[in-house]
A and B are shown apart, each in its own frame.
Chain A
Amino acid sequence: MIEPWHWAISGIALASIPLLHWIAFGRTLSVSGRISALINRARLGRDEPTVEMSSDELMAAVREATIAAFGGAAVLDPEVPDASAALPTRLPMSNHLLFLGGIVVGGLISALAAGAYSPQFALHGRTFNSLFGGSSVSTAAVLIGGGMLVGFGTRMAAGCTTGHGLCGVSRFQKGSLLATGAFFGAAVVVSLGLELLS
């Protein structure tokens, strides 16, 4: 059994990750967001516009469409500030792959270094075993079903424990406070409910 870090050290370590991410990439950390970005880009299969226009033509067409929609001031008026410089640029696919791969490799290195690497395909809870039998089929069904529900909820809430729980809550974002309360609240209710049923 590994001795866990003191909660205060764990808290500082966790907080430093989104902070370093902000410093490195100028955007809030979100693991599910990076996964969605990766999947969307792979699914849509394009990195560059494929329309039959050169890049200059495309820029000119965008400016023309902007003027048509909002008038010349949208492009020409210096009083209309373009805050784009302060906004994050689109990250390349390799950046997402490196980041997500780093989570897996980092976890593995950490487990190996602590001498705690012993992968098992089992859920050991007493409640789980009494409710689902503890066979490998029921374990797989619960893990896959649970993973799909987590993915569905994450997309619906536009963020996961990292984006909402770590970054959003620390910035007092209303949506994140609500989302974090909802998913931690649901976890407490479900585990107490299962405990009662078992």
Chain B
Amino acid sequence: MPTDEKICPQMDSCEMYAIFRNSGVLGTWKALFCQATFENCARYKLVRLGRSVAPNLMPNGVLLRPTRKTSP
């Protein structure tokens, strides 16, 4: 675990972090949560409470649902 105070200690085991990376949106979330105020991250808070974390939970507390598909 990196020791920088600003880096989320869950980064290594966080599934959403890997998804951010692959979907190309990591910069935004990282700047606000993973490498900044990770204490405010909904996922981080649940891990700290010893609770399991839904894989589709975003750091801002939003639960992801499948996006609407356009008709074929």
Contacts and interface: CB of A to CB of B under 8 A. Distances in A.
Question: Is B a genuine binding partner of A?
Answer: yes
Interface of A: 27-28, 30, 32-34, 36-37, 40-41, 44-46, 48-53, 57-66, 68-70, 74-75, 80-84, 87-91, 158-159, 163-164, 167-168, 173-176
A65 B52 CA distance: 21
Given A50-B55, A53-B64, A62 B19 contact: yes
A62 B64 contact: yes
B28 A49 contact: no
Task: State the 8 A-B residue pairs at the shortest beta-carbon distance, nearest first.
Answer: A33-B1, A49-B55, A82-B27, A84-B26, A168-B3, A61-B64, A59-B23, A51-B56
A interface SS class: helix
B3 A62 contact: no
Interface in B49-72: 52-56, 58, 60, 62, 64-67
Interface of B: 1-5, 9-15, 17-30, 47, 52-56, 58, 60, 62, 64-67
B68 to A, nearest CB: 9
A45 B17 CA distance: 17
Given A44-B53, A88-B12, A164-B3, 14 more contacts: A30-B3, A33-B1, A36-B1, A40-B47, A51-B55, A58-B19, A58-B64, A62-B64, A66-B23, A69-B60, A75-B28, A83-B30, A84-B30, A90-B13
A81 B13 CA distance: 24
B interface SS class: loop
A59 B19 contact: yes
26 contacts: A40-B10, A41-B13, A49-B19, A51-B54, A51-B55, A59-B19, A62-B19, A62-B64, A65-B62, A66-B29, A69-B58, A69-B62, A74-B25, A80-B27, A82-B25, A82-B27, A83-B26, A84-B20, A84-B24, A87-B26, A158-B3, A158-B9, A163-B1, A163-B3, A175-B4, A176-B3
